[in-house]
Structure 1
Amino acid sequence: MNSTKPQKDHFPARRAIPRKLTLALLVGLLGCGAVGSASAAPAAAEQWAKGRILVMPRAGLPEQALAAIASTVGGHARKVGQSDLHIVDLPAGASETAAVQRLSQNPHIQFAELDRKVSAKFTANDPYFGSEWHLAKVNAPSAWDTTQGAGVTIAILDSGVDGSHPDLVPNLVAGYNFYDNNTNTADACGHGTAVAGTAAAVTNNGAGVAGVAGQAKIMPIRVAYFDTTYNECYAYYSTISNGLTWAADHGAKIANVSYGGVSASSSIISAAQYMQSKGGLVFVSAGNNGTQDTTTPTSSMIVVSATDPNDNLYSWSTYGSFVTLSAPGDVWTTSNGSGYQEWMGTSFSSPLTAAVGALVMAANPNLTGASVQNILQSTAVDLGAAGKDIYYGYGRVNAAAAVQAALASPVADTTAPTASITSPGAGSSVSGVVPVSVSAADNVGVTSVQLTVNGTAVATSTSAPFSFSWDSTGVANGSATLVAYAYDAAGNKGASSSVTVNVANATTMVAKDTTPPVVSIVNPVPGMVSGTVSVNTNASDNNGTAGISQWIYIDGALKAQGTGATLSYSWNTRKVTSGTHTIQAVAKDAAGNQSSTSVQVTH
């Protein structure tokens, strides 16, 4: 796994850090999202997981083709949840860097990267409420008159959560441990419990502290482990990507990742886009290095820097053009062992902002994730230079103003996205597996793009840049017409101009065909699903795929049909009953031989 380290927050070991920290102490505590004790960084050779890398194939790439590509580095690919991201396990002794370099050069691979490590970095009557200056600073009490986050689940991707803490127990829902691959989400480092309390400790219960969204649910997802050599808490790109995908499929609408360097990971960006496609938002901490970060800005995550009681950037907060918003970075919150302590760092400005996002969603459940993000940005208190800047992003988050804007938000988005096929060009001659690139844009945000060939939907991509690998052997030689359809979160659909290409594949003849085609359901795999699910099938035949017809059934009802090697269908699970559902794929070749397969999923 690529490991990420929590932002080195100013975090305590067994007791609360005194409110007034000296500058010298702060300097020693600047690494992860929380400011904590200094420690030596792992050696360079330990900055990524051994024996595996992360790979994103282009949408529509046949399973056999991906397996063949992975085999060029001796690897075996396995899916990350219901997303298109894959972990490629490498043989013993293989070079991870060489494998990434080789696969990155393949035109059918969207990206390949190392699995890097990152480190962790109304009025309530709670006893510590008077010490929680951050609540008044973001106008949370005024927002509470309208909402406290009920109905929204916040996934805390961290070191786990203290499952017995009295200020957290009422809000906890089931989570998962992606470091040990089990359901034990106990806190391995203490960091996750503090982050969870910042976001959603129970409010107005006469005990402890008040979370910003005290009626929201907390989904603990453990992605980190405690490294006894360096006395640090580390996560990996892969555990975080797995966690985001799982959270999106299990109903979380907000996710927080208080670990440094995650906004530079293509894999985590892809997982964040997956959550966006389900109507969710991902919040991450900027870091506590006190320096400018040159990471390229992304719209897939909300990156948060840390401010002090006077709305100045803390000297230890990382800044740069990648910062989206800012928020107080000094909080009293829950701690492991059912206690309470003061913690500092962008590890806490991030969940604070995530919780404001939950308040906005709860105030107006009809808002899309993109609309919630726009509201957070447009209502933030502009600090520093006018407009977005490298220190505060769009400004310091303002809960009351954001909730009011949510209530007054205009009804629906009726503007359709635009799409265009940028390659291959019209009139091109193509064969084999063809890379197809699509450019798509929207006034709010594109959630998915579907590629059709001769009217058959062959693949769906939910992550930008929208790219596909189309198996042209699935159509007869001659003209083939490609059209791309872009969708936004409101369901608006925009079509590209058609592009006609000439298919010229070598053909083979089989005397008498009695062999049925082989069909598989690439996505989804058995497990939980939510939102709009991309159902993707893949078929092959001894006599070529041009003569194959495919059908997709859900609970016995025909949902899609087409010809060729791949078939795609966008299934809106919001319109189906909760429970177990059966997806069946049927394939028939030109000789009439037929086969089928099915998977069961839970919604």
Structure 2
Amino acid sequence: MNRDSKVRTTIQHTASSESRGTRVTRRLPRRSPIPAVVAAIIAASALAQPAAAQENGRGARGAAASATSTAQTVAPPAFAPGRILVAAKAGVSDAQFEATLASHGGRSLGRLRGMRAHMVNVPPGQSEEKLAERLARHPHIEFAELDRLAPPGSTTNDPMLSSQWHLPKINALTAWGASVGGGTIVAILDTGIDPSHPDLAGQLVPGWNFYGNNSDTSDPNGHGTAVAGAAAAAGNNATGVASVAWGAKLMPVRIADANAYAYWSTVAQGLTWAADNGARIANISYVGVAASSTVQSAANYLRSKGGVVVVCAGNNGKDEGIAANDSMIVVSATNSGDSRTSWSSYGTFVDLAAPGDSIYTTHVGGSYRAWSGTSLASPVVAGTAAMIKAMRPDFTPAQIESALYAGAVDLGTAGKDSIYGYGRVDAAAALAAAGTVSTDTTPPTAAITSPTSGSATGTVTVNVDARDNAGVARVELLVNGKSIGSDDTAPYSFGWDTTKVADGSVTLSAVAYDDRGNSGLSSPVSLKVSNAVATLAAPDATPPTVAILSPSSGLKVNGNVTISASANDAGGVAWMQLAIDGTVVSSTTTGSLNYKWNTRRERTGTHTITLTASDKAGNTAATSVTVTK
């Protein structure tokens, strides 16, 4: 299990001291509940499959050097089987979206809250990766991706304040003179929060459990309780630890199973739910979520309500290769010497750094422990963002981010870099910057890049380039002055159904908005819609012609056998799939397919080879041959 935070303490349960960390065993229940949105549509969750999950101790150093013995564990699948995440482009109708899915053998299992993204069923025998790849290339689809598993990322009178080196490092004690985060709700998307912990009980507002589909947000794991304590544990209460934003409230949003594994889909649902229920800062200490288009869409939903999302960079000690995006703040981890920890991930997607090594925080059962990981660096930044929001409730997400970046201590290469982003967070400097952040009156720019002229029929893909000094919030496409849809994630693309307007001259324009309400209008683009001639022609109802060229039916096979197949259609072939005994073994988007079949691995007897193909109108055809080994 590639955990993104690890406990460092005297471990009472079975553990082993390793050269780079502490390995801890937590067993999954015999049968794990299914994430709420999937419960009614999927018979069994991948979370129920492994008997145990493996925890990678990378980046943690167990304080109990005498801890002994190890546990053999099994990592769960990397993504949810039998489903993927798909979103239609803005402007594409539900009927068009469903037809597109059906032409590839998929169907919607339901739309995710607050987004255009749907969970989509993958038919038995089809590859989740291949279906996502094919759909992603379709002009109606904004994105299609696997539903990947997300592993977790780990002055006052409080008696343990002296153990919390990170608070003076980020000048939190000075910052408390201006703000402690009062009135701001911080959503912790994690394994839940211990509701009876003396430093957390008074901080909680109602949350939701998306893993069990109920209101039980208690923490069976400990990861969420540790993360919550770093962000907003109670302060100045003569108990335990203090936190960055000890005046803020905590919203527990459980997105994970008992071993702290979540899916991108549960993360996205948790974000939109938190946004609708008053959270304005959200922390996600889970690896890889910054790469998910679905999670980015959910983060933009919270931003549309004035909120900021903070996520961890990961604990793999490498460049994660994830592209930067404006929907969330990504945090790497530093140590007490203001250097990147050896295990902290990095890359161009990193925006800030924060202390993440040996962070003393709350633990389930009312105790306290030191945790290490970007899981702990992320809530330090989230807490600082909550302090800014409390002091400046009028601030937009972009203004909160500007204050964080302006106040950061620049480390490493001058300016923004891939190790520390804009630098290590400084709470006092960020609050000072929030008092001087100027009002942005510069509007974004927008330009329609395609199409720019000519005629238009059927559904046309319209691409827009939009830019802003502080970040684009959303882009709307206007047809003859009327909005047909809005896209909040770059690259901005729309599916325009030209049959919704009369034939003739049509004017397209795009409007880009930033977080502060400034807007910029593109230059108009004139097109000629001409669907009348197209509608006179009968719709294509002729399926493609398919053939298995070799081997021939009835042939006795042995060794390596080359299967050759073809498909032809006047309107063009959309895809072909080859299956052996009902299992898809190869697919292509061309009209020709060759596959080498190693029959040595097959049982003796009769085998059926089936070719299925679809044309671009959605008509399908199939043919089969039977061979004997």
Larger radius of gyration: 2
Task: Note closer, same or farther for the CA distance 1:152–1:6 as it changes in structure 2 (3 Å cut).
Answer: farther
Task: Please point out which of 234, 238, 246 is paired with 1:214.
Answer: 246
How far residue 43 of structure 1 moved from its aligned partner, in angstroms, is 5.9
Say which is worse superposed, 59-68 or 450-459, in terms of deviation: 450-459
Contact 1:17 1:341 in 2 (8 A): no
Contact 1:126 1:203 in 2 (8 A): yes
CA distance in 1, matches of 2:238, 2:223: 24
- The aligned counterpart of 1:430 is 456
CA distance in 2, matches of 1:249, 1:12: 38
Task: Note closer, same or farther for the CA distance 1:35–1:138 as it changes in structure 2 (3 Å cut).
Answer: same
Task: Please point out which of 411, 422, 430 is paired with 1:402.
Answer: 430
How far residue 504 of structure 1 moved from its aligned partner, in angstroms, is 1.1
- The aligned counterpart of 1:139 is 171
Matched to 1:377, the amino acid is Y
- The aligned counterpart of 2:583 is none
| Partner SS for 2:260 | strand
How far residue 50 of structure 1 moved from its aligned partner, in angstroms, is 0.9
Deviation readout 1:311-346 (Å, 9 max, x if unpaired): 122222222332211111121111111221111111
Is structure 2 residue 16 aligned with structure 1 residue 26? no
Equivalent residue pairs, number: 495
Contact 1:34 1:343 in 2 (8 A): no
- The aligned counterpart of 1:335 is 363
- The aligned counterpart of 2:193 is 161
| Partner SS for 1:225 | coil
CA distance in 2, matches of 1:16, 1:126: 28
Contact 1:6 1:258 in 2 (8 A): no
How far residue 355 of structure 1 moved from its aligned partner, in angstroms, is 0.6
How far residue 234 of structure 1 moved from its aligned partner, in angstroms, is 0.9
Contact 2:233 2:243 in 1 (8 A): yes
Matched to 2:6, the amino acid is D
Matched to 2:274, the amino acid is A
How far residue 271 of structure 1 moved from its aligned partner, in angstroms, is 2.0
- The aligned counterpart of 1:479 is 505
CA distance in 2, matches of 1:167, 1:370: 31
| Partner SS for 2:19 | helix
How far residue 470 of structure 1 moved from its aligned partner, in angstroms, is 1.3
How far residue 8 of structure 1 moved from its aligned partner, in angstroms, is 4.1
Contact 2:326 2:471 in 1 (8 A): no
Q: Percent identity?
A: 48
CA distance in 1, matches of 2:284, 2:401: 16
- The aligned counterpart of 1:7 is 4
- The aligned counterpart of 2:314 is 287
Matched to 1:265, the amino acid is S
Contact 2:5 2:372 in 1 (8 A): no
| Partner SS for 1:311 | coil
Contact 1:31 1:289 in 2 (8 A): no
State the Cα RMSD in Å. 2.6
Task: Please point out which of 68, 82, 85 is paired with 1:54.
Answer: 85
Matched to 2:513, the amino acid is Y
Contact 2:23 2:57 in 1 (8 A): no
Matched to 2:21, the amino acid is L
Is structure 2 residue 343 aligned with structure 1 residue 316? yes
Is structure 2 residue 150 aligned with structure 1 residue 118? yes
Is structure 2 residue 471 aligned with structure 1 residue 441? no
Contact 2:289 2:295 in 1 (8 A): yes
How far residue 15 of structure 1 moved from its aligned partner, in angstroms, is 5.8
Is structure 2 residue 400 aligned with structure 1 residue 372? yes
How far residue 438 of structure 1 moved from its aligned partner, in angstroms, is 1.1
Contact 2:21 2:59 in 1 (8 A): no
In the TM superposition, 1:71-220 aligns within 5 A as: 71-77=102-108, 78-121=110-153, 123-220=155-252
Contact 2:463 2:493 in 1 (8 A): yes
- The aligned counterpart of 1:552 is none
Task: Note closer, same or farther for the CA distance 1:446–1:40 as it changes in structure 2 (3 Å cut).
Answer: farther
CA distance in 2, matches of 1:443, 1:460: 20
CA distance in 1, matches of 2:215, 2:420: 37
Structure 2 unaligned spans of 5+: 25-54, 63-69, 537-629
Task: Please point out which of 389, 407, 413 is paired with 1:361.
Answer: 389
Matched to 2:333, the amino acid is A
Deviation readout 1:26-83 (Å, 9 max, x if unpaired): 3869958984899778568x11101110112111110101111122233222211012
- The aligned counterpart of 2:43 is none
How far residue 218 of structure 1 moved from its aligned partner, in angstroms, is 0.9
Deviation readout 1:370-407 (Å, 9 max, x if unpaired): 11112211211111222222322211100000011112
- The aligned counterpart of 1:64 is 95
- The aligned counterpart of 2:612 is none
Matched to 1:91, the amino acid is P
- The aligned counterpart of 1:454 is 480
Contact 1:28 1:36 in 2 (8 A): no
Task: Please point out which of 279, 283, 286 is paired with 1:252.
Answer: 279
How far residue 462 of structure 1 moved from its aligned partner, in angstroms, is 1.9
How far residue 12 of structure 1 moved from its aligned partner, in angstroms, is 5.6
Is structure 2 residue 290 aligned with structure 1 residue 272? no
- The aligned counterpart of 2:490 is 464
CA distance in 1, matches of 2:117, 2:225: 29
CA distance in 1, matches of 2:365, 2:133: 45
Deviation readout 1:282-328 (Å, 9 max, x if unpaired): 11112222233322222322111111112122222222332211111
CA distance in 2, matches of 1:467, 1:126: 52
CA distance in 2, matches of 1:56, 1:41: 35
| Partner SS for 1:224 | coil
How far residue 100 of structure 1 moved from its aligned partner, in angstroms, is 0.5
- The aligned counterpart of 1:236 is 263
Contact 1:432 1:505 in 2 (8 A): yes
CA distance in 1, matches of 2:404, 2:531: 52
Matched to 1:260, the amino acid is V
Is structure 2 residue 324 aligned with structure 1 residue 297? yes
CA distance in 2, matches of 1:276, 1:311: 30
CA distance in 1, matches of 2:2, 2:98: 31
CA distance in 2, matches of 1:36, 1:495: 55
Matched to 2:489, the amino acid is S
CA distance in 2, matches of 1:466, 1:31: 38
CA distance in 2, matches of 1:212, 1:246: 24
Task: Please point out which of 370, 379, 391 is paired with 2:419.
Answer: 391
Deviation readout 1:577-603 (Å, 9 max, x if unpaired): xxxxxxxxxxxxxxxxxxxxxxxxxxx
CA distance in 2, matches of 1:446, 1:238: 24
Task: Note closer, same or farther for the CA distance 1:28–1:390 as it changes in structure 2 (3 Å cut).
Answer: farther
Task: Note closer, same or farther for the CA distance 1:34–1:10 as it changes in structure 2 (3 Å cut).
Answer: farther
CA distance in 2, matches of 1:366, 1:17: 50
CA distance in 2, matches of 1:41, 1:425: 57
CA distance in 2, matches of 1:31, 1:237: 20
In the TM superposition, 1:510-521 aligns within 5 A as: none
Task: Note closer, same or farther for the CA distance 1:233–1:13 as it changes in structure 2 (3 Å cut).
Answer: farther
CA distance in 2, matches of 1:43, 1:199: 29
CA distance in 2, matches of 1:320, 1:495: 34
Larger RCO: 1 or 2 (CA < 8 Å, sep 6+): 1
| Partner SS for 2:21 | helix
| Partner SS for 1:448 | strand
- The aligned counterpart of 1:534 is none
Matched to 2:163, the amino acid is S
| Partner SS for 1:120 | coil
How far residue 236 of structure 1 moved from its aligned partner, in angstroms, is 0.7
| Partner SS for 1:444 | coil
How far residue 183 of structure 1 moved from its aligned partner, in angstroms, is 2.1
Say which is worse superposed, 141-150 or 90-99, in terms of deviation: 90-99
CA distance in 2, matches of 1:384, 1:297: 19
